[in-house]
Amino acid sequence: MEYITLNNGIRMPQEGFGVFQVRDKEECKRSVLDAIRAGYRLIDTAASYTNEDAVGEAIREAIAEGLCTREELFITSKMWVQDMQNEQMAAAAIDASLKNLGLEYLDLYLLHQAMRDYFSAWRAMEKAYRAGKIRAIGVSNFYSHTLTNFCETVEIRPAVNQVELHPYYTQEAALETMKYYGVQPEAWAPLGGGRYKPFENEMLAGIASAHGKTIGQVVLRWNVQRGVVVIPKSTHKERIEENYDIWDFSLTDEEMKQISSLDMGYQGTAIKHFDPDFVRMCTGRKIHD
């Protein structure tokens, strides 16, 4: 596994473990422990996944078992839209995530969506960063025009932008914008999020067999070779291990191009961020009173 140095100098693992939709607490805790045992050090959760407490339990257990130290872990969570209404609410959300996780500091905290008053929320993030509660602050689902306006305005530029990135939605132009502003791209749904049937694709199968790897490993490797951080999710131990075993082979330039040719553009997005109904769904979603 390799590390990326973020724009504030801190090191981030280039592969991590995601826990979206792992709502059962015991399953979440067991999966995170399986991931840490397999070698993952980055864990990606969010206030809106309502499993920060289970992730926190797994972290404490892993440290108690001597699997890793807190310093070796890179824990990410995200502020939900409900809390992005003013600076006070945003500051309270950061403290709530820390409390739910049982941590003294977060390695990375992200604004989950470019919705509501994300500038006020960012000022709370900057304060928490300066106070040492968060080692790096970033955003998620910020499309290029929004990210550009944001980077041209804020005091501290985001260290990371976590967006949908997989062979069916390659977002090359968005990666260029992130590079321009020194923002590290991180892929959500790096395996396609259970959509698009990559595991049945013949071209991907051919590349996988040429390397003695699985399709999942090839798809993850493709993003890694583009300089992207990947955070695949699985609740199956053998898949968790398989997804981490991507650091001993390289795709050729030609294979990289072939994989990128699957791109469907905006048609390939799982979540239509430009759809007003989706925005209303997010602004209406409450995760606490």
Residues taking part in catalysis: 49
For 42, the 3-state DSSP assignment is strand
- Give me the least distance between CB of 232 and ligand NAP, in Å please: 4
Q: Is 19 in the site for ligand NAP (CB under 6 A)?
A: yes
Q: Going by C-beta distance under 8 Å and a sequence separation of 6 or more, which residues neighbour residue 27?
A: 235
Helices 118-130 and 144-151 cross at an angle (nearest 10°) of 50
Residues 92-131 that bind ligand NAP (CB under 6 A): 112
Residues 152-181 that bind ligand NAP (CB under 6 A): 162
- Give me the least distance between CB of 79 and ligand NAP, in Å please: 11
Residues 23-82 that bind ligand NAP (CB under 6 A): 44
Show the DSSP H helices in 42-190 as ranges.
52-64, 87-101, 118-130, 144-151, 172-180
Residues 190-219 that bind ligand NAP (CB under 6 A): 190-194, 199, 216
What is the Cα–Cα distance from 77 to 45, expressed in whole angstroms? 5
Please select the residue that binds ligand NAP; options are 14, 77, 100, 140, rule is CB under 6 A: 140
What is the Cα–Cα distance from 70 to 8, expressed in whole angstroms? 20
- Give me the least distance between CB of 189 and ligand NAP, in Å please: 4
For the CA atoms of the chain, what is the radius of gyration?
18
| Contact positions vs ligand NAP (CB under 6 A) | 18-20, 44, 112, 140-141, 162, 188-194, 199, 216, 231-236, 239, 242-243
